[in-house]
Structure 1
Amino acid sequence: MTFAVTTHLNFRGQARAALDFYQHVFGGEQTVMTYGAMGQAQLAGSPDHVIWGQVAAQDGFRIMAFDVQAGHDHDAGTNAFYVSLRGTSADAVRQRWEALAEGAAILQPIGPSAWSPLYGMLADKFGITWIVDVDPRS
């Protein structure tokens, strides 16, 4: 038996923009369901807010997101989680890094580290912290 771990991001009205951005960076197919389309518009700040969305790419990348229901507390938090993106190709990792870096705060510039030939850390334009590196076993 195998398991897949998928990061699920929670937003307050920015889920669609985040999914669009991650699809731009990673490619793949985007699926979006809105509160309105699911007959639950009264639960959302807007019927167009995302009740569930996903980007899934052929190379294995997958991320989910939704907009927290109206009236529910939402605080993105500080260092509540990181998304780890680890690849086997330095060129592919650098390409993803450069795309994620658009509008981002660079926390650790990408470069060699003690554990990886290429490592970097950034907070993207949505405030999501990414750790990007090349798998040292590759």
Structure 2
Amino acid sequence: MTIETTPHLNFRDQARAALEHYQKAFGGDLVAMTYADTGLPADAPGADGIVWGQVSAPGGFRVMAYDVQPEHDHSPGERAFFVSVRATSAEELTGPWEVLADGGTVVAPLAPSQWSPLYGMVTDRFGVTWVLDVAVSYAG
């Protein structure tokens, strides 16, 4: 069983620049997927924004980031982060998901997504938003 937590930072049109900055500071590999990569029409507002990005360095540094879509409110400093929980199997996520969702608000149900066999987002009863998914290699 392998479960990792990662800071998941939220931006408005700055996720790629932030990830490049963090990569410069800490080294490692940068991967990024745009909303267009997931099927949003290329001419749609925010299509070139980052839906999922990560810098991962051999020394253990890891941070994820995304661009909040234009139709959602975003004020820097408000909803500035999520806690990302990545597991190696779907079975590892269901128990934590049920506990976090108890008394919380499901933002995105735990279900398959375009980038993971299982993904979900929940704001727990303490106001912390958690993103849970099964980690897979990004082939883009």
Scaled by the length of structure 1, the TM-score of the pair is 0.51
**Equivalent residue runs for 1:1-138 within 5 Å:** 3-41=3-41, 45-77=45-77
Residue 41 of structure 1 and its aligned partner are, at CA, apart by 4.0
Identity over aligned pairs, percent: 56
Q: Which has the larger radius of gyration?
A: 1
The structure 1 segments of at least 4 consecutive aligned residues displaced by more than 4 Å after TM superposition are none
AA aligned opposite 1:75: S
Helix, strand or coil: the match of 2:4? coil
**1:59 and 1:46, CA in 2 relative to 1: closer, same or farther beyond 3 A?**
same
What is the CA–CA distance in structure 2 between the aligned matches of 1:25 and 1:45, rounded to whole Å?
30
AA aligned opposite 1:60: G
Quote the RMSD (CA, aligned, Å): 2.5
TM-superposition CA deviations, 1:25-74 (whole Å, max 9, x none): 011011100011111247x6332110100000000100000000111011
Q: Which has the higher contact order (CA 8 A, sep 6+)?
A: 2
What is the CA–CA distance in structure 1 between the aligned matches of 2:71 and 2:22, rounded to whole Å?
27
What is the CA–CA distance in structure 2 between the aligned matches of 1:24 and 1:16, rounded to whole Å?
12
Residue 2 of structure 1 and its aligned partner are, at CA, apart by 5.4
Helix, strand or coil: the match of 2:66? strand
Residue 3 of structure 1 and its aligned partner are, at CA, apart by 3.6
What is the CA–CA distance in structure 2 between the aligned matches of 1:45 and 1:18, rounded to whole Å?
20
Please, which runs of 5 or more residues in structure 1 have no aligned partner?
82-138
Please, which runs of 5 or more residues in structure 2 have no aligned partner?
82-140
Helix, strand or coil: the match of 1:77? coil
Scaled by the length of structure 2, the TM-score of the pair is 0.51
Helix, strand or coil: the match of 1:37? helix
AA aligned opposite 2:50: V
What is the CA–CA distance in structure 2 between the aligned matches of 1:59 and 1:32, rounded to whole Å?
20
